[in-house]
Structure formats: structure tokens, C-alpha cells
Amino acid sequence: MFISRHSFLHSLTYLQLLGLARLSIVFLLFFALQTIASAADWRTKLHQYQVDQATKATRLATKQTAAIAKKQAEYYKLIEFASQMTDKRSLQYITNFNLETYANRHLWQQWQKVYAKSYPLIKYIPYPSDAAERSGASPIRIIAEMRVTDNYTNLDKELSYFRANGYNTILATWQGKTPYKLYSQIQHVKAQGWNVWLAYSGPEKLESPVLINTTTYAQALKLLASTCSGFITGWRRTSLHLWHEQSKWLDFTLNQVRQGNPNIYIFGEIYYGYDGRDDNHHKFSYNIPTNASGAIVVNLGNANHNQESIFKTLANPKTQRSDSGASLPLFSLVVGEHPYYLSRNRNLKTKEQNRSICHQVEQRITRAGFAGSITLAGDGSDGNYQPQITDDVSQSDWHVTTKNKGK
């Protein structure tokens, strides 16, 4: 049976109503307390969240500040390292010295570690200085230079041409890229009976980097040296007129070369002319490592130079072994009649005439007492003047040209 609310309330006694009221008040108080407690808990959690966020922000700021400080410290260390390098001119030109980029900072940190170490002196490997000591062999006649190429057809034709002209050795130059193609190329020419020497080089420009990834550098030198007979310390970009020799760089370089081939000859460099250190254009600069097997002479292999007089001038303590006083064997770099004889200073002579001039200079060099010669495949301009003449035997075309290359 349905009972209305009005009837229900009228049916309750006074005490029963009072009990319901009290129960309602208790319920309301309980609910209010729960609400207050929840609000207080929320405020506590909010405060803790704010504290946590502030702590995280502080830690992040501290970490970022430490990272910035560390980066600044590394930067200043690199600046200090650079200030200790003697070749300030290269630092002004080379493209990978911008320390704002991570890659460059990482590269220079690698070399900073290299320069911080000490390296043992290389072992002295004597180079036979005359034909008798070489068991009757002819003086070494090096044709320079061979760079990486995919055109083996042209390379083989050029090598046949120079072989017919009496050359017996090739100077292979590595320019800092992946070494495996050059290694295969060296193996290719060695299979034809050529002797191969090696140099680390690059385009003859101050902008060209010398310091590259140290792991790549070390591995490449070991690999290439393992299949070569000799190593020249300075060539084009690493020659004395462009790269003011760093002793630590040289020590590191030679140790990698000798790890690749313990018996490889090491030849230093003697450079005649302006080298960027002062205004003197008529002086000799020397970079002959301790225990070097010999040295090459640069800029005095032209037709108008008196080779006997040059050889006598170079007979000084700088070209002698400190322990015995014995003179080191010297190779002279041959350009031809004069520098750039096929391009900027064209002499208008035929191919046969120019090759004959080079051969005459080579003969005068060996008669004067030099142990060998290094003759450029071009005129020394290497494409810098018109017409563009390459010094790369992989790309030259002596075997097809019948007149002066300037035509």
C-alpha cells in the first residue's frame, strides 16, 4: 500500500524525528570534513608538484649550466691548443678549423690527444746511395705523381710511355679520402713491375685541410705504406712552403707509416725559395726527421740550375747524420726547362723536346752526386693556369700528344 511522505512524517514520533535530524547533521558534518580533507590533500599534492617541478627546473638549469661550462672549457682548451701550433697561417685558411661545429671540435679534440702523446724515434733504414750499393741498379727515376683514377686504360698507356723513357718508380699521392682504391691501384702498377713510393698530400692550396680524422689517417697510412718502398714527408699541401711542419704531427705520421712497413724508406724535404715564414725568397728550409733515410730537394730541378753547385751547397750538417757525419742521399725534383713550361710560361717546344730537357736535367742531377730524381708528369702548374696541365700521370696524355701540350 502506498504511503505519502506527508503521512509518513506525521506517523513519526518526536523522538524519531529528532534522531533523523541528528543523523542528517552527522552525515553532513562527515561529508563536509571529507570535502575539507580532500581539498587539503589536493593543496598538498599541488604544492608538492610545484616543488618537484621547481626542483627539476633547478636541476636542468644546473645541468645545462654545467654543460655550457664544459663546452666553454673544451672550446678554450682547443683555442689554447691552436695557439701552440706553429702554423698560424694554415689556421687562418683551412676550412675545418671553425670550432662552432661539433664535427670540427671533435676533429680537433682528436688531434689534441695526438699532440699530447710522445712517440718513439723511427729506426734508421739506410738508402743505398750509389749504384754499386744497389747491386748495379740504375739510379732511381721517379715519375710524379699518381692519384686515384677509374681510368686504368689511360694510366696503363701513360705508364708504358714513361717506362719507355726510362722511369722505374712512381710516386703515389694519397689526398685523405678512402685509401682502398689507391691501394688497389698501387697493386695494379706493381704487378707491371713498377716500384712505388708514397706521399700524403692534397691540392696545393692553403685552404686544403691537412689534419683529418685521426683514425682514418692512421689506418690509411698503415695500409698504403705496407705496399710501398718509400715515404716522402712533404708534397704539395704538406710541403714546407704551405705546411709549417708540426713535430708532433710528423712524429705521429712517421710512426703510422713504419707500423705499416717497418722497412720503408723515410725521406724528408729541403725546400728552396719563399716558404711563408719571412720575406726571404732565396733560402733553404729543411724538414729532415731524425733517422731519415734521405731527403728530396724542391725548386732546383730546372734547366738553368747548376746541379754541381747546388749539391755542394747542400753538403752541410743539416743533410748529414749526427752520429756518423755521413751525408744523406738526396733526390732532386725535376720540373723541366722552367716552371709552367706548358701553361703560363709556355716554351712552345714539342713533346719530345720537353722530355729530352727533363732527361738532361736528370742526368746532370745524378752526375752531380744526387741519388735520384723525381720528375713531374706535368709542368708543376697542376691545372691552375691555362691551358690546364695536370701533374697526375693517371690523367695526363703524353702518350697521344705529338706537340707541346699547349698545341
Axis crossing angle, helix 14-84 with helix 102-116, rounded to the nearest 10: 60
Q: Is residue 206 part of a domain?
A: yes
In angstroms, rounded to a whole number, what is the distance separating the alpha carbons of residues 215 and 202? 18
Question: Contacts by 304-313 with C-beta closer than 8 Å and gap 24+?
Answer: 304/338, 305/361, 307/332, 307/361, 307/364, 307/365, 307/367, 307/368, 307/370, 308/367, 308/368, 308/369, 310/368, 311/368, 311/369, 311/370, 313/284
In angstroms, rounded to a whole number, what is the distance separating the alpha carbons of residues 111 and 84? 13
The burial of 13, by beta-carbon neighbours within 10 Å (0-12 exposed, 13-18 middle, 19 or more buried), is given as exposed
**Looking at residue 276, what DSSP letter applies?**
S
Residue 403 is predicted with a pLDDT of 46
| 276 and 154 share one domain | yes
Task: Give the pLDDT confidence of 112-135 residue by residue, as tens digits.
Answer: 899 999 999 999 999 986 444 444
Task: Give the pLDDT confidence of 104-114 residue by residue, as tens digits.
Answer: 788 888 998 99
| 250 and 314 share one domain | yes
Residue 61 is predicted with a pLDDT of 67
Residue 132 is predicted with a pLDDT of 41
Task: Give the pLDDT confidence of 68-102 residue by residue, as tens digits.
Answer: 666 666 666 666 777 677 777 887 777 666 667 77
| 164 and 235 share one domain | yes
More confident residue, 40 or 240: 240
Look over the chain and give the mean of its residue pLDDT values, rounded to a whole number.
84
| 68 and 158 share one domain | no
Q: Is residue 407 part of a domain?
A: no
The predicted model gives 150-175 an average pLDDT of 96
Contact call for residues 322 and 283 (beta carbons, < 8 A): no
Last residue of a domain, one of 84, 103, 120: 84
Domains identified in the chain, total number: 2
In angstroms, rounded to a whole number, what is the distance separating the alpha carbons of residues 361 and 144? 15
Last residue of a domain, one of 84, 101, 118: 84
Q: Is residue 346 part of a domain?
A: yes
The predicted model gives 328-340 an average pLDDT of 93
Q: Is residue 396 part of a domain?
A: no
Residue 372 is predicted with a pLDDT of 94
| 223 and 355 share one domain | yes
pLDDT band at residue 63, thresholds of 50, 70 and 90?
Answer: confident
Residue 232 is predicted with a pLDDT of 98
- % pLDDT > 90, the chain: 52
| 216 and 310 share one domain | yes
Over 60: is that where the pLDDT of 10 sits? Answer: no
Q: Is residue 146 part of a domain?
A: yes
| 261 and 368 share one domain | yes
Over 70: is that where the pLDDT of 238 sits? Answer: yes
The predicted model gives 10-28 an average pLDDT of 64
Over 70: is that where the pLDDT of 211 sits? Answer: yes
For residue 98, give the C-alpha cell.
Answer: 671553425
For residue 200, give the C-alpha cell.
Answer: 700524403
Over 50: is that where the pLDDT of 26 sits? Answer: yes
In angstroms, rounded to a whole number, what is the distance separating the alpha carbons of residues 287 and 404? 35
The predicted model gives 344-358 an average pLDDT of 91
Q: Is residue 26 part of a domain?
A: no
CATH of residue 189 = 3.20.20.80
For residue 340, give the C-alpha cell.
Answer: 709552367
Which of 22-31, 113-122, 153-162, 398-407 bottoms out in mean pLDDT, i.e. has the lowest? 398-407
Over 70: is that where the pLDDT of 1 sits? Answer: no
Q: Is residue 10 part of a domain?
A: no
- Coil, helix or strand at residue 284: strand
Over 70: is that where the pLDDT of 12 sits? Answer: no
pLDDT band at residue 58, thresholds of 50, 70 and 90?
Answer: confident
In angstroms, rounded to a whole number, what is the distance separating the alpha carbons of residues 396 and 390? 6
Backbone φ, ψ for residue 79 (5° rounding): -60, -45
Residue 203: alpha-carbon gap to chain centroid: 12
| 161 and 231 share one domain | yes
Q: For strand 265-272 and strand 284-287, is the pairing parallel, antiparallel, or unpaired?
A: antiparallel
| 193 and 264 share one domain | yes
For residue 287, give the C-alpha cell.
Answer: 724538414
Which of 54-63, 166-175, 311-320, 381-390 bottoms out in mean pLDDT, i.e. has the lowest? 54-63
Last residue of a domain, one of 43, 61, 84: 84
Residue 401 is predicted with a pLDDT of 64
pLDDT band at residue 3, thresholds of 50, 70 and 90?
Answer: very low
| 245 and 368 share one domain | yes
| 206 and 345 share one domain | yes
- Residue 171's domain comprises 140-376
| 232 and 144 share one domain | yes
pLDDT band at residue 136, thresholds of 50, 70 and 90?
Answer: very low
Q: Is residue 80 part of a domain?
A: yes
Task: Give the pLDDT confidence of 250-277 residue by residue, as tens digits.
Answer: 999 999 999 999 999 999 999 999 988 8
DSSP 187-201: HHHHTTT-EEEEEE-
